[in-house]
Amino acid sequence: MTSTPRPPAPGTTLHGEAALVRAVGGVSLAAAIINIIVGSGIFLLPALLFTRMGSSAPLAFLAGALAIVPIALCFAAIGSRAATTGGPYTYVGAAFGPFAGFIAGALMWICNAASSGAVASALFLQVARAWPQLEQPLWRTLFMVALYAALITLNAFGVRLGTRAINILATLKLTPLFLLALIGLPFVDWGQISWLDIPSWPTLGASMVLVMFAYSGMETALIPSGELRDAAHSVPRATLAAILVVVLLYMGIQIVTQGILGPLLATSKAPLADAAGSMWSPGLVILLITAGVSMGGFMMGNLLASSRLLYALGRDGYLLAAFGRVSASHRVPLLAIVCHGLVGFGLAVVGNFEALALVSGGANCLIYLGVSLATGVAQKRDVRSGGKPFVLPGGALIPAISSLAMIAILATLSRAEWLAIGIALLVLVFVHAVLVRGRRPA
């Protein structure tokens, strides 16, 4: 007679991938991807792109879509083959070895922590616009404390609660955005939109860095692959469906805001809210609230996924083993959640959204380049972790296209942006060397 395994004692911790609960389905994954991508960038980018590209600004989102779709296909393909927690860290490591995987994972976590802090700073600006008396250092710090305490608490009570919160936030923020894109189309002055005035490549390329920041997010949402049900099927479907929805939404919002506000878009600090307010005065308040909900949803998904990246690094021995432990009560990597939240909080207090967006966008392109190359290698070697994988048509063609697109965008980065990314990579290589040396026997 087979004995029934005992549940873990209260207060104990578990270790390893088997300790996680595979409770996330395809719909929740698609919602998580959309929720993280549609974070804060779309609320600021229409004005930033208009100042750079003028009436041809929608072309930046169209060019970004042409670049991000092959990337999404690569993520769908390799994500169906490597269904363990870690996302790009796992994907790159499976193809090129642990050192490359560590660089990808650690760089991605730094980008996500910086993004969390930057979005929190942008969220506080939205709150301070409604209540100017809060524009004091003390109130800013208290706001950040309350915000991150709530985020950590929600994530600490299990992945099911976290994904439910993400689904609710995604619905609350996406509904007003889709309504703005649909209802605003009849009000568009199409004379403000140009599809033929193609800018120079340096101009378009510089704008593409911001666009890639706005499109980024699927790599973060795919980190908790160890908690997915049937990853071989859910990852490709959820990834491609989410990217299609986001591309249509972004294009519609850029056209509506630009076609309604015209030249005023260049000086608008809240372009979506201003466009909605020009059609219907309560729309201004609704879109400001939507911006707050959207940024909160982004941060919720960011913490859920990025803490699992810390968990994966701890699980594989690149961080303290405590990061790879899972609490028995709610089956979550509690130390990783708290650590990522505290780092994000620290960056939020002194965060600079615009500078972090450019650096994060460039770093994401490096990660996308690594995943694209890894996809070609994994498909050639037929790497798989269970289930029938999603196979890209054309062999290495799609990974090659996405790799060339990322190289072209990376070529437009400024010296300051390359310097910031280069310093981060040097620090990571040093950390990796110290950790590897520490694991060697005396």
Residues of the chain above pLDDT 90, percent: 18
pLDDT of residue 127: 81
pLDDT (0 to 100) of residue 84: 64
Give 30-45 pLDDT, tens digit per residue: 777 777 787 677 887 8
pLDDT band for position 399 (cuts 50, 70, 90): very high
Coil, strand or helix at 131 = coil
pLDDT of 337 reads: 92
Res 422: pLDDT: 86
Average pLDDT over residues 216-237: 64
Question: Where does 20-434 sit in CATH, by number?
Answer: 1.20.1740.10
Instruction: Work out the number of other CB atoms within 10 angstroms of the CB of residue 23.
Output: 15
- The band of 203, judged by pLDDT with boundaries at 50, 70 and 90, is confident
Q: Looking at residues 392-402, what average pLDDT do you find? A: 90
Q: How far is CA 302 from CA 8, 32, 116, 152, 331, in A?
A: 29, 9, 7, 11, 18
Mean pLDDT of 222-229: 57
Listed range (124-128, 138-142, 167-171, 303-307) with the worst mean pLDDT: 167-171
Average pLDDT, the chain: 80
Give the bridge partners for 24, in sequence order: 228
Looking at the DSSP bridge assignments, the partners of residue 14 are: 326
Residue 400 pLDDT grade (very low, low, confident, very high; cuts 50, 70, 90): very high
Q: Does residue 162 carry a pLDDT above 80?
A: no
Collapsed DSSP state (helix, strand, coil) of residue 58: helix
Q: Return the percentage of the chain with pLDDT > 70, whole number.
A: 82
Instruction: State residue 170's pLDDT score.
Output: 66
- As a residue count, the chain comes to 442
Lowest mean pLDDT among 122-126, 144-148, 393-397, 412-416: 122-126
Looking at residue 163, what is its pLDDT?
Answer: 62
Q: Is 273 helix (H, G, I), strand (E, B) or coil?
A: helix
Look at residue 23 in the predicted model and tell me its pLDDT.
45
Domain boundaries, the chain: 20-434
| DSSP type of residue 326 | E
The pLDDT value given to residue 3: 42
Name which residue leads in pLDDT, 217 or 440.
217
Mean pLDDT of 317-332: 78
In tens, the pLDDT along 366-385 reads 999 999 999 999 988 888 76
Say how far apart CA 390 and CA 74 lie, in whole Å.
Answer: 10
**Is the predicted pLDDT of residue 387 greater than 80, yes or no?**
no
Q: What pTM was estimated for this model as a whole? A: 0.75
Tell me the per-residue pLDDT of 241-299, one tens digit each, with 9 for 90 and over. 888 888 889 999 999 999 999 999 998 878 888 899 889 888 888 888 888 888 887 88
Counting other chains too, the contacts that 289-294 makes at CB distance below 8 Å and 24 or more residues apart are 290/172, 290/173, 290/176, 290/177, 291/40, 291/43, 291/126, 292/123, 292/126, 292/127, 293/169, 293/172, 293/173, 294/38, 294/39, 294/40, 294/42, 294/43, 294/169, 294/173, 294/177
Contact assessment for residue 313 and residue 105, using Cβ atoms and an 8 Å cutoff: yes
